[in-house]
Structure 1
Amino acid sequence: LAPGTAHRIMTGAPMPAGADAVVPVELTTAVFSGAEPVEGAQVGITTAVPTGKHIRPAGSDIVAGQPALPAGTRIGAAQIGLLCGLGFSTVSVFRPMRVAVLSTGSELVAPGIPLRHGQIYESNGAMLTAAAIEAGAEARHVHFVPDDTTQFLHRLDEIAADADLILTSGGVSAGAFEVVKEALGMTGGVEFVKVAMQPGMPQGCGHYRGPAGRSVPIVTLPGNPVSSLVSFEVFIRDPLRAAMGLHLRRQRLRAQLTTALTSPAGKRQFQRAVFVRHPDGPAVTTVGPPASHH
């Protein structure tokens, strides 16, 4: 553009060479015939605009070489729009881990069915499935099996074909017959230990080889629901998220403990608590005893 001249421009169009500002048409007295201005027409500007006004410089949203999305970002609608806007047709991602959750116990009954003497409702399966989904995985709740090694191994063979991780609950303690411990003891590949923590002392970890020879990681958790959930939080959540390239630790806060606590000698004890924000600072109050059956 020569000095003293103007050019009509539409939103999003590149700037003509020599132009350094845009005046909205509402601030002009231009008279146009149809879509284009008449050649040689006079344009009156009613309000002055500073240099650079209404111009979006290249790199004003993101500078060349600057990371657009850090590693560990979950890809959603906004991220897809950003990637396409930057010209990326493909990106490398971690796919969600496929987790199969299986509970064991002849005493278990599905919620909604009337209980008989000696039965309890099965809660671990749905709980651990939800925990895995909250951690970012694709999880499915496999129907629980009774205390029968043949049925247990048959169910493992069924789910090992397309699982990246198998989680079981129950059957790993020190009873006379622990189905998970006994069945996986026959196949090998899984180590059973006692961890110095409460709740969640009996644990098992290793690999299960399915009928097609596929080796699948398996973690066997204790059967008490609180033990099972605490064990997931302590041992599984962070490695599961790491396998998917996600950020690991939950948010951590400092707060004043309102009651005195001690752990059993030689053990780390986990307790439930309520977190409350007070005017003089956040506080934590424990709820109930630490036993795993509560």
Structure 2
Amino acid sequence: HVRAMGSDVKAGDRALSAGTVLGPPQIGLLAAIGRGTVRVRPRPRVVVMSTGSELVQPDGTLESGQIYDSNSFALCAAARDAGAIAYRVGAVTDDAETLRATIEDQLIRADLLVTTGGVSVGAYDVVKEALSSVGDEDEAGGGIEFRKLAMQPGKPQGFGSIGPDHTPLLALPGNPVSSYVSFELFVRPAIRTLMGVADVHRPTGRATLRTEKALTSPAGRRQFLRGRYEDGEVTPVGGAGSHLVAALAHADALIVVPEAVESLEPGTEVDVVRLGR
């Protein structure tokens, strides 16, 4: 009943590599080898806020022209899933000064700010109105840029930094599927980078397209369709509409259609992004 010295970890062995997420077993190992302290990166604090006067909390009553705020709940859950500490802010009305004041109030607890909605070309694109001039007021080079990307969903995007500490801000579109796909492609990698982990992106691979008819895609845009992956095959779920939350809820992969491809026949081998754990 004698356990040999070094049978678990030998002197000179690397117990844990840089970038390892410290969970209970890892903390136990550090204690077992006599390390009372180690240098770590804290979990990034992510503040998520939706914009839009039409948004109502899920337990509220809808009036004409109103919808429930689903984005802030979905993105908060996605931020936590990525490893962050997430704070959800109640939906901000379509008023530029109110939004700017809300963002300024949240800077004290944010390593990364994420907004959703108000970045397109509509009459109430409050995020663009509120933040487009930030760079002009910041002599140190901060500010938010708004771009139209060659992708679907998620064409309108905003990114930059704000506040005295140049806190990064990512402004995502407001349609639910556009918002979530944009999070997976841009926000999740940012969170994982702040954490210092190696696996910044979701796992990707190739799969055979399982569908009864050909899929179409707009020329010049990289399309991300929702799908179900199983045993090397991927089946599209729902349509391409950026409002189809139910289809997104039943998907566990994104089917990537390149910019130059306008049609995919059944049986074609495609790139997929695997969602979930």
Please report the TM-score for the alignment, with normalisation by the length of structure 2. 0.81
Letter in 1 for 2:240: P
Letter in 1 for 2:95: D
Q: Identity of counterpart residues, as a percentage? A: 52
Which position in structure 1 is the counterpart of 2:64?
117
1:137 equivalenced with 2:89 (yes/no): no
- 1:239 Cα deviation (Å)? 2.0
Structure 1 residue ranges without an equivalent (≥5): 1-53
1:193 is aligned, of 123, 130, 147, to 147
Moved more, 98-107 or 64-73: 64-73
2:209 is aligned, of 257, 266, 275, to 257
1:284 is aligned, of 231, 234, 257, to 234
* Cα distance in structure 2, aligned partners of 1:136 and 1:86: 26
2:194 is aligned, of 233, 236, 243, to 243
Cα-to-partner distance string for 1:68-97 (whole Å, 9 max, x where unaligned):
112222212211111111110100111011
Secondary structure at the counterpart of residue 240 of structure 1: helix
Question: Given that residues 161 and 214 in structure 1 are in contact (C-alpha distance below 8 angstroms), is that contact kept between their aligned partners in structure 2?
Answer: no
Q: How does 1:54-69 map to 2 (within 5 A)?
A: 54-69=1-16
Letter in 2 for 1:193: R
Secondary structure at the counterpart of residue 160 of structure 1: helix
Which position in structure 2 is the counterpart of 1:271?
225
* Cα distance in structure 1, aligned partners of 2:146 and 2:62: 32
* Cα distance in structure 2, aligned partners of 1:239 and 1:165: 9
Q: How does 1:1-294 map to 2 (within 5 A)?
A: 54-188=1-135, 189-209=143-163, 213-246=164-197, 247-259=199-211, 260-277=214-231, 282-294=232-244
* Cα distance in structure 2, aligned partners of 1:252 and 1:130: 21
RMSD: 1.4
Secondary structure at the counterpart of residue 110 of structure 2: coil
Letter in 2 for 1:251: P
Secondary structure at the counterpart of residue 161 of structure 1: helix
Greater relative contact order, per chain length (Cα 8 Å cut-off, separation 6+) = 2
Question: Given that residues 101 and 125 in structure 1 are in contact (C-alpha distance below 8 angstroms), is that contact kept between their aligned partners in structure 2?
Answer: yes
Q: Aligned residue pairs: how many? A: 234
Question: Given that residues 153 and 183 in structure 1 are in contact (C-alpha distance below 8 angstroms), is that contact kept between their aligned partners in structure 2?
Answer: yes
Q: Would you tell me which structure has more helix in proportion to its own residues?
A: 2
Moved more, 192-201 or 80-89: 80-89
Report the structure number with the largest CA radius of gyration. Answer: 1
Letter in 2 for 1:198: Q
- 1:59 Cα deviation (Å)? 1.7
| Residues 187 and 251 of structure 1: CA distance in aligned 2, closer, same or farther (over 3 Å) | closer
Q: Would you tell me which structure has more strand in proportion to its own residues?
A: 2
